[in-house]
Amino acid sequence: MSDILGENSVFNKMAENDHQKVVFCQDKATGLKAIIAIHDTTLGPALGGTRMWQYKSEAEALHDVLRLSRGMTYKAAITGLNLGGGKAVIIGDSKKDKSEALMRKYGKFIENLNGEYITAEDVGTSPKDMEYIKMETRHVAGIPESLGGLGDPSPVTAFGVYMGMKACAKHMYGNDSLAGKVVAVQGVGHVGENLVKHLREENAKVYISDINEERLAYIAKKYGAEVVANNSIYDLNIDIYAPCALGATVNTETLEKLKCTIIAGAANNQLADENIHGRMVMDKGILYAPDFLINAGGLINVYSELNGYTAKRAMEKTEHIYEVTSEILKKSKEENIPTYEAANRIAEKRMDDIRRIKASY
């Protein structure tokens, strides 16, 4: 069959990771070109943000949406949420090509999926865009507080990262106190700032780096953190490295320099190559908290909004990241496998178990 379909077949690409459904949305009048990918709905409706990006080709957009939607399946599963994995991309320049009509037309495509896919904000889309989408469909989350949403997820995300970090400390040092520990936070944006706040409240020593000098000075003064030059963050004598800016900062080059014992941060896809660096981190005796678990506070926030939970309940659910991180670290140690792999196996087991239950009624 694959020979007939050809190398670039969408069906073959979907089959690689067993994606359920991919929807191509086109509207000439508004210029909308979007792809919605639904990876797996075993645990619930597929949830994932809409990214608007100037992809170089249709193939690149498809590759991204398939990869990201699969990631959402694992993130929801490991976090214990009743959600499946999905994601959407709109091809275009988010600064020039957006309009109310385009977003509303896109909302209509989501509505036609009858709740199989729920969208939210992502790179290149904003709460305002979610408002437009909401005019056409109920299946959207991450809307402003004024419209009944739970607002900015960053404080919840930061709290989850903090919980994951404490679980790593317990596993590594026998005690989850971060008092006196030396932590380097790379990127002090929305999440980074809230993480610094928690760490300083617990009397950790905090180094910070960012490309935005003004922001650095502001955060340093507000929380009593020490500024370091961006490039020197990997040379510091620290206990914990918390990447909160970019992905792929845990790579062969940085691992040669890094002197920490724990890596726990908010950035997505911190390991440059999971297959290589997951094991390399382990061999260096560093505990790596899987990013897709400990930064799941944002997803928990959106899930809470959909279920009508309060902000307090979202925080309580996020606290649970501590237990799940501990379980993953234990499994990783017992089975001598990288932590991300332990997380994947727990997520897959949950999906298999629930799939079996569903088959029985």
Site residues for ligand NAD per CB under 6 A: 153-154, 157, 186-192, 209-212, 215, 230, 244-246, 266-268, 295, 298
Which entry of 87, 98, 105, 181 is annotated as an active-site residue? 87
Q: Residue 246: what residue type?
A: L
DSSP 3-state assignment of 360? coil
Least distance to ligand NAD, CB of residue 308, Å: 20
d(CA 289, CA 295): 10
Measured CA to CA, the distance from residue 274 to residue 269 in angstroms comes to 9
Give the nearest distance from C-beta 233 to ligand NAD in angstroms: 8
Residue nearest to ligand NAD (CB): 189
- Residue 293 or 328: the one with the smaller Cβ distance to ligand NAD is 293
CA distance 35 to 48: 12
Considering the complex, state which of residue 20 and residue 142 has its C-beta at the smaller distance from ligand NAD: 142
What is 20-63 written as a DSSP string? -EEEEEEETTTTEEEEEEEEE-SSSSEE--EEEE--SSHHHHHH
The SS3 assignment for 120 reads coil
CB of 335 to ligand NAD, least distance (A): 27
Is 166 noted as a catalytic residue in this protein?
A: no
Nearer to ligand NAD, 209 or 332 (CB): 209
**Whole-angstrom Cα distance, residue 278 to residue 73?**
20
C-alpha of 293 from chain center: 8
Q: Which is nearer to ligand NAD, 22 or 77 (CB)?
A: 77
Smallest separation, CB 157 to ligand NAD (Å): 3
The residues annotated with a catalytic role in the active site are 87
